Amino acid sequence: MISNSRYWIVHTCNKTEYHLQKSAMNIRNIMRNIFSKTKYTYGIVFLSFTLFTFSCGAKPIVLDNEIISPNQDTRMPPPVAIGELNKNARSINIYMNNGIELTFRRAEKDYIPDKTSFYDIWQLWEAFGSKEDGSRDIRIVRSGEWETAIKINDDFVGGVNHGFERKTSVQFLLDGQPIAEEEDIVRRPFHSFYVLQETDLYAYNSTDEKIARIMKQWDFKEGGTIELRQTVKWLSPQSLRNTYLAMLPVSRDENGINITSKAERDDIRKVFDVSQAGHKNPLGPGGKNSASTSLTLWGDTYKLRVSIDREDILANSSLWLSNSNIYNKIYFDYTGRHEVKKDEVFDILVRFELGKTD
């Protein structure tokens, strides 16, 4: 990508050149349009202090001094670190400055016929409260999927709990500098941390039938906020039953301590008691509303919110709360029942906010 006085100029791997006007530019639509037309490898572009990602078949070539490097963070880092992290080849512990610890991990499993298997991905997995000394305290988000679980006909695929999703590339950007997947990092403060991953999604019980390509970008921000940008490009028509592109398996109680007992959704604006398993209220599957964009849970000490931003609101999409025996789990279903077409693209920004009750 290069710039002149009027345009951003994007060169893709198939030699196509796109001229993007700098004024009145909807960059997300433009990049999504480009993404739908050609095959990329990951790069990172900063425009107007906003992070955007694309992918190409090879690393971008530096053409002249006007190139914006894919590893160049043009923003000034904040004066105070937003947290600390430590990393090894298989897991990352992220200690946010508001007393929340996140676990981000790599999980993989070889193919086992007729079993959940054939996966290799990085994913968010759990969250804990932290003690004043920074050590781990109580678990507030249980182990489980946060990003991807898709039901096609009668079978789920995606993530670890359902399998058949494998990364084709992953990049880590710490304080504006790339770090290797296998690199070890001793616990240290950080100002910015991004993870970018591209995966192939396969049909259930298949190791060769690729049905979608997924791009995920995690941006770990100040105050226990994680922004997840996810784009799904379908490679073949599919009969979707559910497309969960955001989930949060929040604890209701841990070791006799209340974590979440109240809930509110933006389209209802009423507080509901969710302190007991089996709670019945309009937040559950029976009260689905495609216009819902945020759902908040809180208790004596902790408060958690999932917010959704997407341009295409499908009629059967929904944001709802499970009344399971083991947790209060938030689900966002991008589609509900939907006949997806080849080359159709789903694009979503999810904001997870984990913190303390005011």
Residues 202 and 260 in one domain: yes
Flag whether 60 is in a domain: no
CA 356/CA 99 separation, integer angstroms: 8
315, with CB counted inside 10 A (0-12, 13-18, 19+), is exposed
Q: What is the pLDDT of residue 75?
A: 54
Last residue of a domain, one of 54, 71, 94: 54
Residues 163 and 262 in one domain: yes
Residues 102 and 47 in one domain: no
196-234 per-position pLDDT tens digit: 999 999 999 999 999 999 999 999 999 999 999 999 999
Q: What is the pLDDT of residue 73?
A: 54
277-322 per-position pLDDT tens digit: 999 999 999 899 999 999 999 999 999 999 999 989 999 999 999 9
Q: What is the pLDDT of residue 134?
A: 77
Interval 122-136 mean pLDDT: 91
Say if residue 152's pLDDT is above 50.
Answer: yes
Q: What is the pLDDT of residue 8?
A: 45
Flag whether 296 is in a domain: yes
Residues 225 and 93 in one domain: yes
Residues 46 and 100 in one domain: no
Counts of helices then strands in the chain (DSSP H, E) = 2, 29
Flag whether 72 is in a domain: no
Residues 205 and 253 in one domain: yes
185 token code pair: 């990092």
- Confirm if 271 and 355 have CB atoms less than 8 A apart: no
Handedness of CA 107, 109, 114, 115 (dihedral sign): negative
Residues 90 and 45 in one domain: no
Flag whether 140 is in a domain: yes
168 token code pair: 């084709």
Residues 45 and 87 in one domain: no
Flag whether 73 is in a domain: no
Containing structural domain, residue 46: 2-54
- Confirm if 105 and 91 have CB atoms less than 8 A apart: yes
Residues 150 and 24 in one domain: no
Say if residue 273's pLDDT is above 80.
Answer: yes
Q: Tell me how crowded residue 48 is: count the other CB atoms within 10 A of its CB.
A: 9
Q: What is the pLDDT of residue 27?
A: 46
Q: Which of 77, 36, 235, 225 is nearest to 152 (CA)?
A: 235
Q: Which of 285, 279, 280, 224 is nearest to 252 (CA)?
A: 279
Residues 153 and 272 in one domain: yes
- Predicted structure pTM score: 0.80
Flag whether 304 is in a domain: yes
Flag whether 188 is in a domain: yes
Q: How far is CA 6 from CA 20, 81, 164, in A?
A: 8, 36, 44
pLDDT category, 80, cuts 50, 70, 90? confident
Residues 123 and 214 in one domain: yes
Residues 263 and 341 in one domain: yes
CA 261/CA 330 separation, integer angstroms: 14
Q: Count how many domains the chain has.
A: 2
